[in-house]
Chain A
Amino acid sequence: MTPARAHSAMPQTAMNTSPSEFNHPAQASAQVQTPPAKMRASNVSFHYGTFRALYDVTLEFPANKVTALIGPSGCGKSTFLRSLNRINETIRGARIEGEITLDGEDVLKMDVTGLRRRVGMVFQRPNPFPKSIFENVAYGVRVNGLASRSELPDIVEKSLRRAALWDEVRDKLHESAHALSGGQQQRLCIARGLAVEPEVLLLDEPCSALDPIATAKIEDLLVAIKDQCTIVIVTHNMQQAARVADNTGFFLLGRLIEHDRTDVIFKNPSKKETEDYITGRFG
């Protein structure tokens, strides 16, 4: 299948609220006006041992946009997300083919720690380290040697503010991160990711373990931070994709079926599989 390539070349017009609309006029009719892709995957295939999880996925992630990856369980969307920062490499027997670029640089040939500093990740279940709230946020900065000791408190505060958690934890920065609620922990994990100022933030079903209120907070937060980084979010929740994403890609059985602006995907999908999934006929 090759529809992915065709779709990735479609005009990536901004939704009305996007700040980058100014740079890229809404009346996009030619490819020239496509916003620059922050990350681009070309013909990416992925194998776990003998199992092939991805088939020639080609997809672009425009800068300062939220891209949602949707699809039924086991469709490869998480695998795809996890190959963007090469975290899947740590799994035994994993093998990737194809090309992934970040600002035109080949991700697969890049120094992996440098790549992961630039492409952050938030996981499905909140996974704060068994340290204090402060130490959790500071960890990435410390380990990468990005700032001096005296700058840490400012960075921690700024990151927690960006993750809309500061007001709730400002008085207990040195208490255990595990004392926080699930939603707070997940926002802490986002703050931890933001502290190293990543250019891209990958989120792997970040709200699947959270209640609706915590979910809403995280969704607001994603929309708020996208002017500072490019966001890719894997989600099971189609309403969530519709709420937060500028673009949406639909995966099925390891293939990217369709990729377009979110409103197009949800209102006027061009593939039958997409329509079946969106309307709840399977998955």
Chain B
Amino acid sequence: MSSSAAVQPQMGKSPVSEISRRLRGGDEVAWLITLLFSISVLLVTALLVWELWVGSEPSRAKSGFSFLTSKLWNPVTDEFGAYPFIYGTIVTSVLALAIAVPTGVGAAIYLSELATGKWSDSLTFLVELLAAVPSVIFGLLAMFTLVPMMRETIGPAIKSVFGSLPLFSGPVYGVGYFTAGLVMAIMIFPYIISVSREALMSVPREQREAALALGATKWESTWQIVVPYARLGIIGSVFLAFARALGETMAVTMVIGNDPSVHASLFAPGYTIAAVIANEFTEATGKVYPAALVELGLVLFVLTFILNGLARLLILITTQKGSARA
């Protein structure tokens, strides 16, 4: 400790110089600054909730809890119900997950476990590039390619097989829940790959080798040991993707059909919370209309909040049961 020798002579000096010496050491300063930064995050969140709460007051006063269950959305008569939007948001997000989770996790397994060196690196680079594409670009792409494709080939093909199910009944317009879910799936796909791949790569080499050394094949070691070991990270990637899907606005607005009603068929047009806020806020007049949109924002916030809570809970449960280290 060479510094202690330099510090010694200062000990007898005034308290002020002692304080300045301590401050130069940085511990307290660093503590204070980093504390301020982390508090600012809390502050912003609190402010957000406050704004949403206050802003939605007229709407809450008018509809109360029936806001959540009412299917009616009529700006002319000032009647607003969130149900079609909540329904649309959840249906499209779940659909997106149903498509993107198996493919994304599969691709992550390929990239981290099976693909070799340069090939894996370049594919990963492309995947990460995909994650950086702005959502409006995906929206455009979907409008010009996916929507007609949906209407002319994919939709009729699915209908010819599952047409009897209410889930796939009715005409195929091209825009609708299914198309929106598909676009969302494409958009969250790189997130799932990227985070799952990281989780898989962080599984210690010894785990793989332990399985191989017992006579497991490469795939057995991957599927039975590596993937379960990384499951927390994989679950994390799924929830990250879910949160992103819930809030996805631009691309969805462009392909969902913007119809504030509830349909059983996935081919029917619908609406999501984020899409309706983006579409109607500039035109919302009066007192209750904008407040209803703000309340929708509050609903989305709460939805995300509940989802995160569920994710935590799931992680807690699986950790206790399977005892994985994070």
Contact = CB atoms under 8 A, between A and B. Distances in A.
Given A116-B215, A143-B224, A196-B214, A176 B323 contact: yes
B211 A87 contact: no
Interface of A: 85, 87, 90, 92, 113-114, 116-117, 120-121, 123-125, 127-132, 139-140, 143-144, 175-179, 189, 192-193, 196
A139 B214 contact: yes
A124 B255 CA distance: 56
Contacts of B117: 92
A187 B217 CA distance: 24
Contact of B210 (A114, A129, A196): A129
Q: Give chain B's interface secondary structure class.
A: helix
B228 interface: yes
Interface residues of B, number: 24
Contacts of A131: 228, 322-323
B225 to A, nearest CB: 6
B207 A129 contact: yes
Contacts of A175: 323
A116 B204 contact: no
Interface of B: 116-117, 204, 206-217, 220, 224-225, 228-229, 322-325
B215 A144 contact: yes
Given A113-B215, A113-B216, A143-B224, A127 B323 contact: no
A196 B208 contact: no
Nearest to B324: A130
Contacts, number: 81
A125 B206 CA distance: 8
A90 B208 contact: yes
A45 B227 CA distance: 34
Given A87-B213, A90-B208, A193-B213, 18 more contacts: A85-B213, A92-B116, A92-B117, A116-B215, A121-B210, A124-B206, A125-B206, A127-B206, A127-B207, A127-B210, A128-B210, A129-B228, A129-B229, A130-B323, A131-B228, A131-B322, A176-B323, A192-B210
A178 B215 contact: no
Most chain B CB atoms below 10 A, which of A113, A129, A131: A129
B111 to A, nearest CB: 15
Given A129-B225, A178-B325, A87 B215 contact: no
Nearest to A178: B323
A179 B323 contact: yes
Contacts of A130: 228-229, 322-325
11 contacts: A92-B116, A121-B210, A123-B213, A127-B206, A127-B210, A128-B210, A130-B325, A132-B323, A177-B323, A178-B323, A189-B210
Contacts of A125: 206
Nearest to B320: A176
A116 B213 contact: yes
A49 to B, nearest CB: 11
Contacts of A176: 322-323
Closest 5 CB pairs of A and B: A176-B323, A117-B215, A140-B214, A127-B206, A121-B213
A148 to B, nearest CB: 17
A121 B216 CA distance: 13
Contacts of B224: 139, 143
Contacts of B217: 113
A271 B145 CA distance: 76
A144 B214 contact: yes
A85 B215 CA distance: 10
Contact of A123 (B210, B216, B323, B325): B210
B115 to A, nearest CB: 12
Contacts of A85: 213
A154 B84 CA distance: 58
Contacts of B208: 90
A192 B211 CA distance: 10
B318 to A, nearest CB: 10
Contacts of B215: 113-114, 116-117, 140, 143-144, 196
Given A92-B116, A92-B117, A143-B220, A116 B212 contact: yes
B214 to A, nearest CB: 4
A90 B113 CA distance: 11
A192 B116 CA distance: 30
A95 to B, nearest CB: 15
A189 B323 CA distance: 17
A193 B214 contact: yes
A143 B225 CA distance: 11
